[in-house]
Amino acid sequence: MSSITADGHATHAHSSSEFGVGEFITTYVFSRDHKVIGIQFLFSTLLWFLVGGLLAIGIRWQLAWPWSDMPVIGPMLFSAEGGQISPEFYTMLFTMHATVMTFLVIIPILAGAFGNYLIPLMIGADDMAFPTLNMLSYWVMWPAFFLFGGSFFVAGNGASSGWTSYPPLSSVSEAAPGSGLAQTMWLMGLTCVGISSMMGSVNYLTTIIQMRAPGMTMMRLPLTIWGMFITALLQAFALPVLTAAGLMQLLDRVAGTGFFIPEALSVNNSAMAPGGGQPLLWQHLFWFYSHPAVYIMILPAMGMVSDILCCFARKPLFGYKPMVYAMNGIAGLGFIVWGHHMFVSGMNPGLGMTFMVATMMIALPSAVKTFNWLGTIYGGKIEFTTPMLFSLAFVSMFVVGGLSGIFMAATPVDIFIHDTYYIVAHFHYVLFGGTAMAVFGAIYFWFPKMFGRTMNEFWGKTHFLLTFIFLNGTFFTMHILGAVGFPRRLADPYHYETFRHLQPINQFMTICAILMVASQIPFILNFFYSMFFGPKAGRNPWRANGLEWQAPSPPGHGNFDFQPIVYRGPYEYGSPETDEDYYPQTQPPTERGKADVPPTLAAD
């Protein structure tokens, strides 16, 4: 794998027992090198991203043309139904689409791929604190891949209790076709994802706290690292709750316990199950993790976008310390707002008011970040590269999704729109329109460091333009549907006459969704072609000042061919005191205009 090639530069010597050099399987498969592990996460999550997108196309097809034959794949998958999606299969589609995109794509690509690859490089370390644990954090994901993927091929063709897995539908095997073995596999897969994330969390926290280069204080960390650090804290405190709840629900299914099953419950004429538990307890435990998980899926993206905006605006970050405090504020408030997912559950109005106010308060640190991003690009010498375009899209999409979230926090409004497409629109604008835009920008930005070559700018901008247009065509119109109460999770909402006039909007959205998936073809071709045939990149093709850009491209074992010592903050761009327009973090204080680029960069 090219990311571990020395690139002709002297690197720290390490024994083969430390990094697994010498044997193919320990170098490229069971590697303990953080860069290899990061790229393994990247390829795995991009593959599941394709699976999640295809599942979404199935959902959109059913809503646009319900009970019509799907071309090509309909006769293969649904021969018993004459090529049509069955209601049970539709329930599986939206369950597994959300499961794949949340647990197998967004979280592992941010924390697993970019967290692994960037943290040691950006703090000046030679690897993670626990390389073997790091390797295990990736390979523990493979049982989850097999369990989630294998659930498609057992009775029910996948779990179908929703990605929230609410009991008793998910706890009683007779409740629905997808509530049998597929649901058990789903719960086991979720547990594996949780264990993997906990391993990564311990590693990231230890590495950032203990292994920073000399001079790299916490207030000199790039915001990408702050995002990863806060994400690791969220995982460390919230994930054990979900993991324990998942094990409790698994025991309800296989061991006859009654944590979430009420007394004397009978479903579909089955025998009464032993119970005495509370279905509502699962919701509290699930959302206690899953609302902080929303910030696990956005905080690293916020950090990466901040780095990219500064680099291509050629300006220092506007308000570094307020941005750090805002990220911490978002994380802290994220722990006390989980109840806004449960306003329709009969919650005490006084408690609901508390959750409502706390949720609205999250808008304050979010607004700090948004206005600081605008302050960063205002008056800058903006370079409209592909990473910059995706980062600007992240800011705009995050604003759209964030504004809808403010009044969704109001209990009376939420009661009306809770099970409508307005929620779907908000969620997708934040996590696809927001996080996915940041992920694409980060791939284009750090691709030269990962593979030593640059991606094609023309096809990168083509990818951006098509994705941005069809993204908004797909998700913005969901707000219109939600505002009139169009329900989610129904295979045929047009059974109700009041929604029949909305079918043309759904058809337009489905066409946009299909074109949005097709728009990823230029990205896939550009990515793989550039890995092998793209123009070679030097150490610092973007003229950025982070530590990672002073290592060879791609970095060898040990990352750096010199001991980095940090003298500056992470965003010293546009200085009038330098012949260049930036100061690398390792540049010591110099006299005006002299020796502004360290020898390691000048040599390239």
The tokens for 523 are: 């990205």
Residue 87's domain comprises 28-262+276-590
- Within a domain: residue 9? no
- Within a domain: residue 11? no
Q: Which has the minimum average pLDDT: 3-17, 103-117, 399-413, 580-594?
A: 3-17
Q: 73-107 in b/e burial notation, b at 16+ Cβ within 10 A?
A: ebeebbeeeebbbbbbbbbbbbbbbbbbbbbbbbb
- Within a domain: residue 600? no
SS3 call for 452? coil
- Within a domain: residue 251? yes
Between CA 213 and CA 210 the distance in angstroms is 9
Question: The domain spanning residue 120 has which CATH number?
Answer: 1.20.210.10
* Entry field: residues in the chain: 604
Cβ count within 10 A of residue 480:
15
SS3 call for 273? strand
- Cβ–Cβ under 8 Å, residues 256 and 245: no
The phi, psi pair for 114, rounded to 5°, reads -75, -35
Please tell me the predicted confidence (pLDDT) of residue 16: 39
The 8-class DSSP code of residue 456 comes to: -
Between CA 435 and CA 8 the distance in angstroms is 36
- Cβ–Cβ under 8 Å, residues 463 and 526: yes
Between CA 290 and CA 416 the distance in angstroms is 22
Q: Which has the minimum average pLDDT: 11-20, 184-193, 367-376?
A: 11-20
CA torsion sign, 493 to 494 to 500 to 504? Answer: positive
> Could you tell me where the beta strands, DSSP code E, fall in 266-357?
none
The pLDDT of residue 6 is above 60: no
Cis ω on the peptide bond leading into residue 554 (within 30° of 0)?
Answer: yes
- Closest by alpha carbon to 194, among 251, 245, 127, 118? 245
- Closest by alpha carbon to 361, among 325, 381, 337, 392? 337
Q: What residue type is 278 in one-letter code? A: Q
SS3 call for 453? strand
pLDDT range class, residue 320, cuts 50, 70, 90: very high
Q: 489-517 in b/e burial notation, b at 16+ Cβ within 10 A?
A: ebbebbeeeebeebeebbeebbebbbebb
The tokens for 98 are: 């959300």
Please tell me the predicted confidence (pLDDT) of residue 8: 36
- Cβ–Cβ under 8 Å, residues 95 and 184: no
SS3 annotation, 211-246:
CCCCCCCHHHCCHHHHHHHHHHHHHHHHHHHHHHHH
Which residues contact residue 602 at a Cβ distance below 8 angstroms, ignoring those fewer than 6 apart?
A: none
Report, as an integer, the average pLDDT of 279-292.
94
Between CA 109 and CA 436 the distance in angstroms is 10
The 8-class DSSP code of residue 171 comes to: T
- Within a domain: residue 603? no
- Cβ–Cβ under 8 Å, residues 3 and 42: no
DSSP sequence for 527-552? HHHHHHHSPB--S-TT---SGGGGS-
The pLDDT of residue 160 is above 70: yes
Between CA 298 and CA 301 the distance in angstroms is 5
User: pLDDT digit string (tens) for 16-60?
Assistant: 344 444 577 777 788 899 999 999 999 999 999 999 999 999 999
- Closest by alpha carbon to 249, among 239, 241, 258? 258
Identify the residue with better confidence: 268 or 484.
Answer: 484
pTM of the model: 0.91
User: pLDDT digit string (tens) for 468-478?
Assistant: 999 999 999 99
Cis ω on the peptide bond leading into residue 214 (within 30° of 0)?
Answer: no
- Within a domain: residue 203? yes
- Within a domain: residue 473? yes
The pLDDT of residue 13 is above 50: no
- Within a domain: residue 270? no
The pLDDT of residue 454 is above 70: yes
The tokens for 319 are: 């308000």
Please tell me the predicted confidence (pLDDT) of residue 11: 41
The 8-class DSSP code of residue 178 comes to: G
Please tell me the predicted confidence (pLDDT) of residue 21: 46
Domain count, the chain: 1
